[in-house]
Amino acid sequence: MNKENENEKRSRVRLHPNLVKACIEGLRQIYTDGKHADSVVNNLLKSNPKWGSSDRKFIAETIYDIVRWWRKLWFVVGEEPNLTNAGLWKLCGVYLVNKGMYLPAWEEFENINLNAVHDRLDKAEGIRVIRESIPDWLDSIAEEELGDVWETEIAELNKQADFVIRANTIKVNRNSLQKALRDEETETAVIPNHPDALVVSERKRIFTTHCFQDGWFEVQDASSQEVAYFMDLTPGMRVVDACAGGGGKSLHMAALMQNKGRIISLDIFEWKLKELSRRAKRAGVSIIETRIIESSKTIKRLAEQADRVLIDAPCSGLGILKRNPDIKWKLSPESIDNIRKEQAKILSDYCVMTKKGGKLIYATCSILPSENEKIVDKFLSEHPNFKKVKEKKILPSESGFDGFYMAMMERE
């Protein structure tokens, strides 16, 4: 659909004050309470089951888009960001105008000058930090590390993310999953060079399908799915997922290992491991054991035991801005520096779990070399008993999906 037709379609969408109020409430929770955008949107949608599919879509898209274009929209408003009721109504109004919608004659929108809005939108295009809606410090760091590549990457990262799922090959292959979802009125498309991945056209029914309830698929971005393949897994291996979180990669590893062997999934947060256990049960995975990292003893007990150790390290998340645009407003130069220190420490502390001849895999969803190649190079210079086997960089502008980095090191 071309832009003109899209604007024409949007201009016919019926707005209701309660929908805009819901968006404003969501924005307050994100910027005042520091909550994550995805949890805010999910909770809002659960709070009013009477909203129809178009209402729910409007709320989700509006909140995510305003967060994504926060700085640019306030530039167009002509004011410094403020979370007053009047300020957020004006912000929403400017956003709706930018989307090609006609504003209702509500008093909350009375002070919006449409001519000024269009003039400032034109001015915004000439200033990268405004056009791409990013903090000055982030633009400087990324340009310093990536050079001209940054211009292309930030433009791609400001696009809406595709909704990608992974077929759980313990239970089903991708073709059978695609057919079963079609039978449940959910259309998907195959992603070339990603054997288990499908892009979902509309997610509105996806979690109520029998396919989901029966554990036939997991939600996982296409780039994230590449990590388990990168690890060169075989059935029967002993694997440690050292920063397992909710367990998306643990579950994928189990599928590639044909549910044979052992995967020990570690994390410092018990609630994340409980979520992993719940997902594993639905997926029919029996080889995953979860352990909370309570102290360094947890790591020492696993010294030299693993064929593969995956360190999916905490990172800035700059490779996943498509899906989590609020990240860029929560980061700071100091937080990124602290992240780098944490990455280096985790890699150094956790590498002991790799047995001789085993492989250590370091991965992040960042596109900054200072969180990726430089961390690995520093580790290798301090640990001569490890050597780099291979590495892979996934740029959003080239893949169309999340940005990722992964490196494999062998313990000699």
Architecture, CATH, for domain 222-411: 3-Layer(aba) Sandwich (3.40)
Are 109 and 93 spatial neighbours (Cβ–Cβ below 8 Å)?
A: yes
What share of the chain has pLDDT > 70, as a percent?
97
pLDDT in tens, 6-36: 444 444 457 889 999 999 999 999 999 999 9
pLDDT surpassing 60 at residue 5 = no
pLDDT in tens, 55-94: 988 999 999 999 999 999 999 999 999 999 999 999 999 9
How much is the pLDDT for 403? 98
pLDDT surpassing 80 at residue 388 = yes
Whole-angstrom Cα distance, residue 242 to residue 251?
14
**CA distance to 69, 379, 403, per residue, from 8 (Å):** 22, 55, 34
Region 385-409 average pLDDT: 97
Task: Read off the amino acid at residue 368.
Answer: L
CATH fold, domain 3-133, is N-utilizing Substance Protein B Homolog; Chain A (1.10.940)
Q: What is the CB neighbour count within 10 angstroms for residue 144?
A: 11
Region 120-140 average pLDDT: 95
Whole-angstrom Cα distance, residue 35 to residue 325?
13
Region 383-410 average pLDDT: 98
Sheet holding 404-411, edge to edge: 288-292, 262-267, 238-241, 306-312, 354-364, 404-411, 386-394
pLDDT in tens, 179-211: 999 999 999 999 999 999 999 997 777 899 999
Q: CATH 3.30.70.1170: which residues of the chain?
A: 163-219
pLDDT surpassing 90 at residue 48 = no
pTM for the complete prediction?
A: 0.92
Whole-angstrom Cα distance, residue 383 to residue 372?
17
- The 3-state DSSP composition of the chain as helix, strand, coil percent (nearest 5) reads 50, 15, 35
* Structure tokens belonging to residue 214: 């029966």
Residue whose C-alpha is closest to residue 252's, from 244, 187, 190: 244
Whole-angstrom Cα distance, residue 339 to residue 391?
21
* Structure tokens belonging to residue 192: 């070339």
Q: Which helix (H) or strand (E) holds 126?
A: none
Average pLDDT over the chain, rounded to whole?
Answer: 94
Whole-angstrom Cα distance, residue 356 to residue 313?
22
What share of the chain has pLDDT > 90, as a percent?
87
Architecture, CATH, for domain 163-219: 2-Layer Sandwich (3.30)
**Using DSSP, how many helices (H) and how many strands (E) does the chain show?**
20, 11
User: Could you give the angle at the alpha carbon of 69 between the alpha carbons of 61 and 157, nearest 5°?
Assistant: 85
Residue whose C-alpha is closest to residue 36's, from 326, 317, 328, 329: 326
User: CA quadruple 115, 120, 123, 125: dihedral positive or negative?
Assistant: negative
Region 232-238 average pLDDT: 98
Are 196 and 226 spatial neighbours (Cβ–Cβ below 8 Å)?
A: no
Whole-angstrom Cα distance, residue 371 to residue 336?
9
* Structure tokens belonging to residue 370: 């200072």
